[in-house]
Chain A
């Protein structure tokens, strides 16, 4: 198209800035050349038709463009063409579009930018457009007498009576009643008197003028390109819709029907669009094998920057921090990596729902020549499946069909994906091996496992960029945050849609709709469709305000909520136009009530919210000398606490509906005009964790207390009565001397101390402080449980004392352990005892005795001839001893075997002297 050439000539730097965009546009035009041709030849008379509408308009120098715009208007109104031609008198009323360069409010009553003529809609009748074309026959043959106009009743042979409407009267009346109220108002067919309508009309026009002037100035500032480009694509779409799906019209969502099909139709922010497109174009080198265009020098570019979208700030101050835009630009300018891929392999679009992120990704991918493969939350995103899908999408290509374009993977709603899946994505991004060009290694590796580097672009889309799962991915992604859609553009689009659907809605109404939905495109269009389905053909601001749909159940952050609660709303600048209610949140008590209630119930995290309120309300600047507000607030808090308990305990979730009223109360009690300083509520969490740790200390202390003491104490009595005093008791005054030198009394004291500590499972453990000093700390750490800050510290034992105690305790413990061991297996003890005391003596004594006996006397039992033992023998022996005859055995025994130490000569052995020694004797 020659107008682009014209543009190129005019703006050289523009070429650079928008190179990618223009390229796409060029491609697009080739696609759309067919319909365009049809359009240009077809409505020749239409153009002339419109041109006579333009006669009161100053002729613009860019005639060509003007003409085309006119064509657009023509096309938009094509359905009502016949009406228009029938009523040429109204031409003064329809304001012809003016080009933005020419805009002068004084010239016309109301004027619109070229691409969207909303002003025209208002005057055109909304009703007769679509519904009547469906059944044109029934328009004139009626079952009942028509309400207005003249008719003829006809009765046929069978007796049924129909009414025929007199055509020409009806037609003109409909037109006239709507179109030219000033001339025909006297007929009394109007609902409102003419004067009222006139006033309304004038007011609305004025409003539109002001708004459009604002918008125009914005548009002018941003870029001229879009302005001239948009309309032509619009009418393509309109055409599509018109001849495309007449029958499926009712079933399809308007969001789908009116979704943009071309880059130029996108409603989202131009800069974002351009950045994504540029990023995608960076892949051209590796995907399509195109050479990257050489960029002009950097200074050039900066000038462009300045010119196009930073007209005021620019780079006047070189020391200034780079703006986000410049940063993004720089990223896009960065060199490709060794595989000729861009530095960031993934683009991540983030923003609230309904801004057109998915649409943008799809359209850009399509325009850049890719085949879109989408994975979204509805797909299975478990790790294996995800891996498979990524591999399929990035490494393969469809060979069948016409669809031979390379794939571009779009991962939608990635913030809901499991971490495993995201890790797989990251692994895919970071694959390094293979494709370096070294054939030998590559083949070797390929045999092992087929792993190639990522050679296709991936676009991720998420709502919340700061989901923990995305943390790693964030580092490696080209981040694009979606700004809010401009309400003016959204309103234009909505106006187009409502016009096509035959709804009557003025700009103000649509603006309020945008405001209500926070410029959520999807929500706006859905609401429109809903209203249309309900039979609202004429919209006004009241309807929009009163209707409950379209209000998003979105949750802003907790901080936002707290802020809203603690801050009185500012009285907003009153909007132009009379139909507007005040913005939610401002205004009277009832509205504030509803506003906060809505916010708090949509946030849903009642627990967190009320905790935040609790933590912050006392630091609010509210004059409350009698503390009534505070009491009231706490009353509510305790009420909600009981409510919660009831909900959790009895599973009585119907009570949940009373929870969001707590924030409302707080709002009315504590809201202030100052900006509140809100801190995140940590106190509860902190308290619970500390409580838990002290509980743990106590239970670890209790766990090893012997049963006889354990039965007398509980955790409660330990904290309330025992522990503080116990800690006092176990820190007596000790003389700093060696425990061996203690007096008996001190030794006794020490013994008791150690007994107590052992009984209560306390001990000292050597610890090293960060400063490198050694200290003894009480284990388990119950000291922290009973000691309070800001109380006078208790007497502490010295390091030496603790050391002594600790050592003594070790010994005592060993002693006890041994005792316990002995008790455990009494058999061993018995044997041990026998062997230890009597047996040791008897052992060697016996042996010695035997030796002595063997050597001295044969102590054989005397037997008689038959081998029977002779009884009186011992008697005789006793007698002999009694008589004083020394038994040689006994004599020998006393001499040798009665001493504890004994000696036996073993030749060549060194362990001749033996003695049994036990640990307990050494302690």
Chain B
């Protein structure tokens, strides 16, 4: 527990640094000792998980923090064994069902049912329900999500579900309607700066406000990343200087270079080079949709107003296909090629307009 991220993570709803209104609402929600199924969503690094854990602590007391990792083996109907790790306390169970890949439906069905079906023995001392925390719900397959629908209703008396996802767009409607949706937005730049300063203070360090601002901007207001960056800065150089360079994640740098390569030249040969880079990104476990998003963000910086809408439209089109398909590289490359064609045409048109 020595990274700052872990060390200074708030553990109760009262201690949360930002979105205090929401925190108090959550407190009120569990005041009566019960709550509906929750769907907590928001971008990564906004503090969804922290909030959920605070909520659970509010509900069950410090006992939720005694966690253990359990390896579970589930046998699918096809006799295939699925290994999955769960993190559990006496009161709740956390599962990332998307670890099971295509077999996540089986995991949902089996695991949640066994948890939900078992009644609490001593309901006088404990709550009468357990909580199942499902993370990365948006990466669940449709089958698994459908498998969840009935389970949610059927075992309402013994179990509450908290679903945690990055966006609701990939959660099917029936599930959204069964849950109380809680959006956890990213903290604002000031909030990030405040958190960084207070953490540094606790560490006995002095953080110049300029650096804090720079970090929070570079991290894209992702608090986890901001804290890590801050710590990396600390390791790199202390005392801090205001214009220190902030270390970045490699994949972002690489993606930016790729985007630059696309903009600088448009030809099949360049496309071949870009393909190699895209493969590189994919093999470093960067999800294709994030590659696509990052690529578009970088490319849009080089586009004119008119082209911007077209490019984003194409990006949405190919991203959708990417979700439907299986081989991400085809769709990423298709987007790249399309962009190249569009950009080239745009540039040539612009050149002609200049000539005449």
A726 touches B325 (CB 8 A): no
Which residues A691-750 have CB closer than 8 A to chain B? 691, 694-695, 698, 702-703, 707-712, 714-717, 719-722, 724-726, 728-729, 731-733
Residues from chain A with a CB closer than 8 A to the CB of B45 are 717, 721
Give which listed residue, A708, A711, A715, A717, contacts B224 with CB less than 8 A: A717
Residues from chain B with a CB closer than 8 A to the CB of A708 are 1, 6, 65, 67
A759 touches B341 (CB 8 A): no
B287 touches A642 (CB 8 A): no
B287 touches A716 (CB 8 A): yes
Give which listed residue, B248, B253, B334, contacts A634 with CB less than 8 A: B334
- The answer, yes or no, to whether A30 is at the interface (CB within 8 Å) is no
A729 touches B284 (CB 8 A): no
A220 vs B163: C-alpha distance when bound (angstroms): 86
Residues from chain A with a CB closer than 8 A to the CB of B341 are 626-628, 630-631
Given the interface pairs A725-B228, A788-B254, the reply to whether A641 lies near B330 with Cβ below 8 Å is yes
B284 touches A721 (CB 8 A): no
- The answer, yes or no, to whether A879 is at the interface (CB within 8 Å) is no
Given the interface pairs A728-B235, A786-B284, the reply to whether A712 lies near B229 with Cβ below 8 Å is no
**DSSP majority for the B interface?**
helix
B334 touches A721 (CB 8 A): no
Q: How far is the CB of B239 from chain A (nearest CB, A)?
A: 13
Instruction: Name which of B106-114, B154-162, B184-192, B266-274 contacts chain A.
Output: B266-274
Instruction: Name which of A443-451, A682-690, A800-808, A853-861 contacts chain B.
Output: A682-690
- The answer, yes or no, to whether A323 is at the interface (CB within 8 Å) is no
A740 vs B246: C-alpha distance when bound (angstroms): 32
- The answer, yes or no, to whether A638 is at the interface (CB within 8 Å) is yes
A627 vs B344: C-alpha distance when bound (angstroms): 9
- The answer, yes or no, to whether B75 is at the interface (CB within 8 Å) is no
Residues from chain B with a CB closer than 8 A to the CB of A642 are 321, 324-325
Give which listed residue, A619, A638, A695, A709, contacts B285 with CB less than 8 A: A695
Interface flags for B236-270 (1: CB within 8 Å of A; 0: not) read: 10000000000111110110010000000011110
Interface flags for B92-131 (1: CB within 8 Å of A; 0: not) read: 0010100100000000000000000000000000000000
A618 touches B324 (CB 8 A): no
A619 touches B337 (CB 8 A): no
Given the interface pairs A627-B337, A709-B1, the reply to whether A725 lies near B232 with Cβ below 8 Å is yes
- The answer, yes or no, to whether A645 is at the interface (CB within 8 Å) is yes
Give which listed residue, B235, B250, B333, B340, contacts A786 with CB less than 8 A: B250
Which residues B263-322 have CB closer than 8 A to chain A? 266-269, 271-272, 275, 279-280, 282-287, 290, 318, 321
B271 touches A618 (CB 8 A): yes
- The answer, yes or no, to whether A756 is at the interface (CB within 8 Å) is yes
Give which listed residue, A626, A687, A725, contacts B279 with CB less than 8 A: A687
A694 touches B284 (CB 8 A): yes
**DSSP majority for the A interface?**
helix
- The answer, yes or no, to whether B15 is at the interface (CB within 8 Å) is no
B interface residues, tally (CB under 8 Å): 72
Which residues A729-779 have CB closer than 8 A to chain B? 729, 731-733, 752-753, 755-756, 759-760
Residues from chain B with a CB closer than 8 A to the CB of A721 are 44-45, 222, 224-225, 228, 249
A752 vs B329: C-alpha distance when bound (angstroms): 41
Q: How far is the CB of B293 from chain A (nearest CB, A)?
A: 11
A731 vs B235: C-alpha distance when bound (angstroms): 8
A702 vs B69: C-alpha distance when bound (angstroms): 11
Counting chain A CB atoms within 10 Å of each CB, the highest count among B229, B257, B280, B334 belongs to B334
Given the interface pairs A707-B68, A791-B250, the reply to whether A729 lies near B228 with Cβ below 8 Å is yes
Residues from chain B with a CB closer than 8 A to the CB of A789 are 280
Counting chain A CB atoms within 10 Å of each CB, the highest count among B85, B87, B232 belongs to B232
- The answer, yes or no, to whether A583 is at the interface (CB within 8 Å) is no
- The answer, yes or no, to whether A624 is at the interface (CB within 8 Å) is yes
Q: How far is the CB of B53 from chain A (nearest CB, A)?
A: 7
Residues from chain A with a CB closer than 8 A to the CB of B136 are 714, 716
- The answer, yes or no, to whether B2 is at the interface (CB within 8 Å) is yes
Residues from chain A with a CB closer than 8 A to the CB of B222 are 721
Which residues A604-645 have CB closer than 8 A to chain B? 614, 618-619, 624, 626-628, 630-631, 634-635, 637-638, 641-642, 644-645
- The answer, yes or no, to whether A785 is at the interface (CB within 8 Å) is yes
B236 touches A728 (CB 8 A): yes
Residues from chain A with a CB closer than 8 A to the CB of B267 are 627
A619 vs B286: C-alpha distance when bound (angstroms): 27
B249 touches A724 (CB 8 A): yes
Given the interface pairs A627-B341, A691-B283, A788-B250, the reply to whether A714 lies near B96 with Cβ below 8 Å is yes
Residues from chain B with a CB closer than 8 A to the CB of A788 are 250-251, 253-254, 280, 284
- The answer, yes or no, to whether A787 is at the interface (CB within 8 Å) is yes
A616 vs B248: C-alpha distance when bound (angstroms): 35
Residues from chain A with a CB closer than 8 A to the CB of B333 are 634
Interface flags for B115-154 (1: CB within 8 Å of A; 0: not) read: 0000000000000000000011000000000000000000
- The answer, yes or no, to whether B326 is at the interface (CB within 8 Å) is yes
A711 touches B53 (CB 8 A): yes
Given the interface pairs A638-B331, A698-B285, the reply to whether A703 lies near B249 with Cβ below 8 Å is no
Q: How far is the CB of B163 from chain A (nearest CB, A)?
A: 14
A922 vs B17: C-alpha distance when bound (angstroms): 43
A732 vs B285: C-alpha distance when bound (angstroms): 26
Residues from chain A with a CB closer than 8 A to the CB of B327 are 641, 684
Q: How far is the CB of B277 from chain A (nearest CB, A)?
A: 9
Select from chain A the residue with minimum beta-carbon distance to B326.
A645
- The answer, yes or no, to whether B231 is at the interface (CB within 8 Å) is yes
- The answer, yes or no, to whether B20 is at the interface (CB within 8 Å) is no
A698 vs B286: C-alpha distance when bound (angstroms): 12
Given the interface pairs A634-B333, A691-B283, A729-B231, the reply to whether A759 lies near B87 with Cβ below 8 Å is no
Q: How far is the CB of B132 from chain A (nearest CB, A)?
A: 14
Residues from chain A with a CB closer than 8 A to the CB of B257 are 790-791
A709 vs B96: C-alpha distance when bound (angstroms): 15
A725 touches B287 (CB 8 A): no
Residues from chain A with a CB closer than 8 A to the CB of B353 are none
Given the interface pairs A619-B272, A683-B279, the reply to whether A711 lies near B87 with Cβ below 8 Å is yes
A722 vs B219: C-alpha distance when bound (angstroms): 12
- The answer, yes or no, to whether B9 is at the interface (CB within 8 Å) is yes
Give which listed residue, A626, A785, A787, contacts B345 with CB less than 8 A: A626
By Cβ-Cβ distance, the 10 closest A-B pairs, closest first, are A755-B2, A707-B67, A634-B334, A725-B228, A690-B283, A641-B325, A728-B232, A627-B341, A724-B249, A788-B254
Report 23 cross-chain contacts, Cβ distance below 8 Å, ordered by A residue.
Answer: A626-B345, A627-B268, A634-B334, A690-B283, A702-B85, A707-B67, A707-B87, A708-B6, A711-B49, A711-B67, A712-B9, A714-B96, A714-B136, A717-B45, A719-B251, A720-B44, A721-B224, A722-B228, A724-B247, A728-B247, A733-B235, A760-B3, A787-B250
Query: In the complex, given contacts A698-B285, A759-B1, what are 11 additional A-B residue pairs having Cβ atoms less than 8 angstroms apart?
Result: A627-B267, A634-B337, A635-B334, A638-B318, A642-B321, A719-B286, A721-B45, A725-B229, A725-B249, A755-B1, A786-B284
Which residues of A approach B to under 8 Å, CB–CB? Answer: 614, 618-619, 624, 626-628, 630-631, 634-635, 637-638, 641-642, 644-645, 648, 683-684, 687, 690-691, 694-695, 698, 702-703, 707-712, 714-717, 719-722, 724-726, 728-729, 731-733, 752-753, 755-756, 759-760, 785-791
